[in-house]
Amino acid sequence: MSEYNPIPHPEPSPALEDIYTFGYGPTAVQIMTSRTAEDSARFFLPYLRAGMRVLDCGCGPGSITVGLAQAVTPGEVVGIDLEPSQVALAQTYAAERGIVNVRFETGNVSALPFPDATFDAAFGHTIVMQFRDPVQALTEVYRVLKPGGVVGFREVDFDGNLCDPPDAAWQQFWELFARVLQHNGGNARVGKHLGGLLGLAGFGRIAMSPAYFMTGGTPEQRRVLSEVTARFCEEVAFIDQARELGWVDEEARGRLSAALRAEGARAEGFFSVAVCEVVGWREGPTT
């Protein structure tokens, strides 16, 4: 059992603006850069074809985006992100790998800087969870898709997380994240609602499926992921926000990171994050 015990708190009220709760610290960027199209967009890749023009919503450091670009060569992929530092990282990432059919722009998914019917396909990974008004963002994606265009989103749903023991520090860390995310207007349980949200945004045919990632299924996986999560814990600003709100005490960060490392050193245990994957189509002849 972990020694970390968060202070109980009432349900918070949403923030007024979209905030990227995950943050852009070194470990956050390491986590995002470790994702590839092969593992994080596998459910979507079968719908891509050579020559397509694709939008990557919330591209981060570009590691998924370059894989999408390779899948549609000689087509083009445009990655958009609200954070200029991530756009710069993505540009460097693509250049170092010689990927020339991709470009990156700073912009807001809720107000996309593109004309109507610009893209054949659009993708997003753990981005819908950040929006106070996800329907507004998805409606913008719908707007810039051509008739018959296809979208794919992959979003967490913490209701499906697996963790043994159930009170492990790993689970407590991500539940604290979910509470702060909710306070900031997001939703760490949005995955199961993706189909309904796409329907509200105007999409017609919709298909959903479940999956898991960030899985600690072997002692080595648990050790590595626990260490990464402990370092993330030591960097992220959302814990400071939780402390300022009175949800955890001042020493919570140190206790939680120590508990995460202790769990990673144990031979037993299991954890995995649940995600839901959705594919949807704008009505019209398929691209």
Whether residue 99 lies inside any domain: the answer is yes
| pLDDT per residue as tens digits for the range 78-99 | 999 999 999 999 999 999 999 9
| pLDDT per residue as tens digits for the range 178-233 | 999 999 999 999 999 999 999 999 999 999 999 999 999 999 999 999 999 999 99
| Residue 17 pLDDT class (50, 70, 90 cuts) | low
Whether residue 3 lies inside any domain: the answer is no
Q: What is the CATH number of the domain that holds 202?
A: 3.40.50.150
Whether residue 182 lies inside any domain: the answer is yes
Res 286: pLDDT: 65
- CA-based torsion, 278, 282, 284, 285: positive or negative: negative
Q: Output DSSP code: residue 113.
A: S
**Helix, strand, or coil here: 287?**
coil
Q: Are strands 119-125 and 145-156 parallel, antiparallel or unpaired?
A: parallel
**Residue type at position 35:** R
| pLDDT, average across residues 259-281 | 95
Whether residue 105 lies inside any domain: the answer is yes
Mean of the per-residue pLDDT values of the chain: 92
- Measured CA to CA in angstroms, residue 2 lies from 227, 238, 264 at distances of 15, 20, 12
Res 18: pLDDT: 73
Whether residue 7 lies inside any domain: the answer is no
Which structural domain range is residue 143 located in?
Answer: 26-281
Rounded CA-CA distance 131/15 in Å is: 11
| pLDDT, average across residues 16-34 | 86
pLDDT for residue 276 is more than 90: yes
- Measured CA to CA in angstroms, residue 9 lies from 12, 161, 170, 223, 243 at distances of 8, 22, 19, 31, 11
Task: Summarize the chain as % helix, strand, coil (round to 5).
Answer: 40, 20, 35
Judge whether 126 and 155 are in contact, CB under 8 Å.
Answer: yes
φ and ψ of 160, to 5 deg:
-100, 5
Burial 162-183 (b: 16+ CB within 10 A, else e): ebeeeebbbbbbbebbbbbbbb
| pLDDT, average across residues 249-253 | 90
Whether residue 35 lies inside any domain: the answer is yes
pLDDT for residue 262 is more than 60: yes
Domains in the chain, number: 1
Res 287: pLDDT: 54
Whether residue 116 lies inside any domain: the answer is yes
pLDDT for residue 14 is more than 50: no
DSSP notation for 238-271: HHHHHHHTTSS-TTHHHHHHHHHHHHHTSS--EE
Q: How many CB atoms lie within 10 A of CB 14?
A: 12
Whether residue 218 lies inside any domain: the answer is yes
Q: In percent, how much of the chain has pLDDT > 90?
A: 87
